[in-house]
């Protein structure tokens, strides 16, 4: 099988190996190059193995968990929603899906939930946690999405992040999608997914690791009006899985999602003007630390599978934030 070094004794083992290695090559330089390559491969395995570098700061720890009914209400599909031991279960079957909504609207804040999605065939099914003001501004709304795109047997879930600004999702469909395959299986356990929205940036986090930062480049490309927090499960067969190639198959119903550890903190729409927006880092002014940026670069290098700014099929005249990176 594949040799995996024991890192506790590996340096000594390597030294013995190098000293004992016969010099059958005609060039000492070539021999040393082989040794160095071997050393680098074994001492520094691909960063793709394992988990991302520590972000060094955990914004979720700054907010207390809340019970579901202290901050949310059912929005639709009440018969497809149940609460048990602080975990909310919502499900989709042939008759309906389900959704919930925060009691209060916010103008900035940290919004998170620990979510566990269903294994197996879930093509066409969307499990979402997002911000929106669609009900207040129908046809002209803002939205910030975390969405699990359902999948087929043996393929990983895709986590999609998206930003819509002022109706761009209603008619023109100017999405700003970045998609990821996670470094863990989101069906096995709960993991914490969060959106931090401040007047200067939106940061998407998974288990406190920043995976995407969407900065405010202009008022025209950034959501500034109050939004509510939503969660839902619904049938999006027309586009969710491989651009609609695979549809929801109700032989596998019900499709279930579980939410717990709800967190919502920040400035509500009714808060006084001096309410200070929350930050994803120790910097009160916002932004990310060097360690957080390093973790985000790792995720984007090894786990990002789509970036709208890099898509040649998109009309980037409509996404000016892609011009200057």
In a domain, 233, yes or no: yes
Structure confidence at residue 85 (pLDDT): 80
Q: How many domains does the chain have?
A: 1
Catalytic residue among 135, 147, 177, 321: 147
Q: What whole-number distance in Å separates Cα of residue 80 and Cα of residue 235? A: 14
In a domain, 210, yes or no: yes
Q: What whole-number distance in Å separates Cα of residue 148 and Cα of residue 157? A: 7
Positive/negative CA dihedral, 49, 51, 52, 54: negative
Helix/strand/coil for 318: helix
Q: Is 135 a catalytic residue?
A: no
In a domain, 15, yes or no: no
Interaxial angle between packed helices 28-43 and 10-20, expressed in degrees from 0 to 180 and rounded to the nearest 10: 160
DSSP letters, 18-49, are HHH----SS-HHHHHHHHHHHHHHHHS--TTS
Structure confidence at residue 6 (pLDDT): 37
In a domain, 22, yes or no: no
In a domain, 258, yes or no: yes
In a domain, 33, yes or no: no
Catalytic residue among 135, 143, 177, 321: 143
In a domain, 39, yes or no: no
Supply the range of the domain harboring residue 103.
64-319
Structure confidence at residue 32 (pLDDT): 52
From 160, 152, 166, select the one nearest 127 (Cα to Cα).
Answer: 160
pLDDT averaged per 10 residues in sequence order, the chain, 325 residues: 35 40 44 47 47 96 95 97 93 98 98 98 98 93 97 96 83 85 97 97 98 94 96 95 94 98 96 95 95 98 97 89 76
In a domain, 113, yes or no: yes
Q: What CATH number is attached to the domain comprising 233?
A: 2.60.120.200
């Amino acid at each position: 099988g594949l040799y995996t070094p024991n890192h506790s004794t590996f340096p000594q083992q390597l030294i013995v190996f190098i000293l004992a290695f016969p010099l059958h090559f005609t060039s000492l330089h070539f021999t040393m190059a082989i040794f160095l390559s071997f050393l680098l491969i074994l001492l520094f395995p691909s960063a793709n193995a394992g988990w991302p570098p520590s972000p060094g700061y955990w914004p979720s720890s700054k907010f207390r968990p809340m019970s579901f009914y202290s901050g949310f209400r059912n929005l639709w599909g009440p018969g497809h929603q149940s609460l048990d031991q602080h975990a909310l279960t919502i499900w989709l079957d042939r008759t309906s899906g389900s959704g919930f909504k925060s009691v209060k609207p916010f103008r900035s804040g940290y919004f998170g939930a620990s979510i566990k999605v269903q294994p197996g065939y879930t093509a066409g099914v969307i499990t979402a946690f997002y911000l929106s003001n669609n009900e207040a501004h129908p046809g002209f709304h803002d939205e910030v999405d975390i969405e699990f795109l359902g999948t087929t047997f043996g393929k990983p879930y895709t986590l999609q992040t998206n930003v819509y600004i002022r109706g761009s999702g209603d008619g023109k469909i100017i999405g700003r999608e970045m998609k990821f395959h996670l470094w863990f299986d989101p069906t096995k356990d709960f993991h914490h997914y969060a959106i931090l929205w401040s007047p200067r940036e939106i940061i998407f986090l998974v288990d406190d690791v920043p995976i995407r930062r969407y900065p405010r480049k202009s008022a025209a490309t950034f959501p500034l009006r109050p939004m509510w927090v939503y969660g839902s499960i619904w049938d999006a067969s027309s586009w969710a899985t491989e651009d609609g190639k695979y549809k929801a198959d109700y032989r596998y119903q019900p499709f279930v999602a579980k939410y717990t550890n709800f967190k919502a903190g920040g400035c509500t729409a009714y808060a006084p003007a001096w309410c200070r927006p929350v930050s994803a880092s120790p910097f009160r002014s916002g932004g990310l630390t060097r360690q957080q940026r390093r973790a985000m670069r790792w995720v984007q290098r090894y786990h990002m599978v789509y970036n709208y700014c890099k898509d040649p099929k998109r009309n980037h005249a409509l996404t000016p934030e892609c011009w200057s990176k």
